[in-house]
A and B are shown apart, each in its own frame.
Chain A
Amino acid sequence: MTSDVAIEVEDLRKDYGEHRAVRGISFNVRRGEIFGLLGPNGAGKTTTVEILEGYRERTAGRVAVLGMDPGPRPIALRERIGIVLQSSGLYRHLTVREAVSHWAGLYRTPRDVAETIALSGLEAAAGQRTVTLSGGQQRRLDFALALIGDPELVFLDEPTTGFDPAARRQAWVAVRSLQELGKTVLLTTHYLDEAQALADRVAIIKEGAILAVGAPRELGAGARRYRVTWHDAAGEAHERETEDPTALLHELTGKALARDEQLYDLSVTQPSLEDVYLELTAEPGG
């Protein structure tokens, strides 16, 4: 076990009765990285994260979070993690400042209350009761409460679901700021662009199984298939896929030169994470 690993998951399984929600997944999250669990709804993302957070018992497998087993919910672990749940309630009759300040008292070495409120963009709302906050402001308060204990590791479960585009961009800035503070982040999302924009590495998960793990760029390259497209003189579009673009281009351009033709809009593209994601998570026959 090296200490630069924040989360280790080995052959993790979780059954709900007959339903096998997580079917033997393995991955590691390194300290200081933003790791994304990307997959459609019902893929097992939240189940996996809630096992790591200590909310759920696992059926089988080995899990270590900051070197500890989260199953028995050790206080020493809860001191060092911050959790943003998909949805969680607030004490309605407290102000933002009172809520953050109360939460600070739950940890032995909390961050500064005013500084954390400022970092979460809630300075203007600090005196407001939480019941009066907008959806976006409540999410910021979720961030503030997850951060107030100065955790080493932050879990973000679907942090921007239901956000408008502007609010999502702001949330992304906040997530990146966690990394700048030296935190490790485990994030779940079903938004591909979110995983691509934020995560250093991504695990694509579907029906409780991990289909691919890697940096978003590597995942695209990992498919090793390139798409070559062009238009002919008549304006008709052509597309070829290949694992060896050099040879294909040589062949295409050779033929074109021999016939004295042009290949209009010739391009070679590597599949993006999006192509890989759609291919991996496609319904059979769909």
Chain B
Amino acid sequence: MSDHALEEPVRRAHPQSTAVPWHQAAWRQYRLERKMFWRNPSAAFFNFLLPLLFLALFGAIFSDQEADLQVLVPGIAGMAVMSTTFSALAMTLTYLRESGVLKRVRGTPLPTSAYLAGLAGNAIANTALQVGLITIAGSLVFGLEWPRDWGALAVFVALGVTCFASLGVALSHAIPNFDSAPAYVNAAFLPVIFISGVFYDAQQVPGFLGAIAEVLPLKHLIDGLSGAMVTGEGLSGHASALLVLGLWTAGGLVLAVRGFSWESRNA
């Protein structure tokens, strides 16, 4: 078979390019990730239903205390951002790396950036869905006001997604094998959600734990979400929150890119 015979039909299909277009590749990967996400019951539960379940349970407990609900709804929204990005990506990437899926994908013409965009898109879709559901439930079920500053809400969700997604990818580099992934992820996730004011006002956290929460990103994300959803303080009132989130994002991105490995180191 001559090269000419191989190339001829291609020119007709993609006159400008010799490969599948980037946006098409990324979109197909995104759709595949969505399909697989819903078919994996444990991922669907832990990354999707758990924050909603917490909202329902704690919401029922605090149902007649509006002040508590005003803390809980943005708190659960912050937790949802962290679980759909940080936890989900740390687990998923560890699995994909250790099982050899990443290596197999790397041997195909799929551009690396299109593949990672598909993975990230899946996480972002989950975040958007959850924050949307939590916001709607806060208003329709628990009788809170609709968010006062939609712009600030969008900015904090976007920054939170970038921050926790990059930290999740960075954490996956430190996880040695898939069996230990839940331990690593929860060792970070659970203490952080408890000290960052997800379930109660962060003011009530004892001094040294509060100091730790103060340097971690989740409390600042929740502060920002609370400002956007409840108090209407917007962006200008949360410069320090933006700064802390920005610093973690910058550090997370550097670590995520630096340590990236396409295959298991034990292989």
Contacts and interface: CB of A to CB of B under 8 A. Distances in A.
Contacts of B32: 91, 94, 102
A84 to B, nearest CB: 9
Majority SS of interface residues in chain A?
Answer: loop
Q: Is the interface of B mostly helix, strand, loop or mixed?
A: helix
B203 interface: no
B101 A91 contact: yes
Instruction: Report which residue of A89, A94, A107 has the largest number of chain B beta carbons within 10 angstroms of its beta carbon.
Output: A89
Nearest to B19: A75
B236 interface: no
Given A75-B111, A102-B28, A106-B109, A85 B19 contact: no
A93 B98 CA distance: 17
B258 interface: no
The listed residue with most A CB atoms (<10 A of its CB), out of B9, B13, B25, B109, is: B109
B204 interface: no
Contacts of B104: 83, 85, 88-90, 145
Nearest to A107: B109
Interface string A180-192: 0010000000000
Interface string A146-167: 0001001000000000000000
Interface string A84-105: 0101111111100010001101
Interface in A81-139: 81, 83, 85, 87-94, 98, 102-103, 105-109
Contacts of B65: none
Contacts of A73: 106
A76 B20 CA distance: 11
Contacts of A107: 20, 108-109
Band of interface residues on B: 20 to 34
Interface string A60-93: 0000000000000101101101010101111111
B101 A109 contact: no
B1 interface: yes
A235 B104 CA distance: 59
Contact of A89 (B9, B20, B96): B96
Interface string B1-12: 101001001100
Contacts of B98: 89
A250 to B, nearest CB: 53
Interface of B: 1, 3, 6, 9-10, 13-14, 18-20, 25, 28, 32, 35-36, 39-40, 95-96, 98-101, 103-104, 106-111, 262-263, 267
Q: Top 5 closest A-B pairs, CB basis?
A: A89-B99, A88-B100, A93-B39, A89-B101, A89-B100
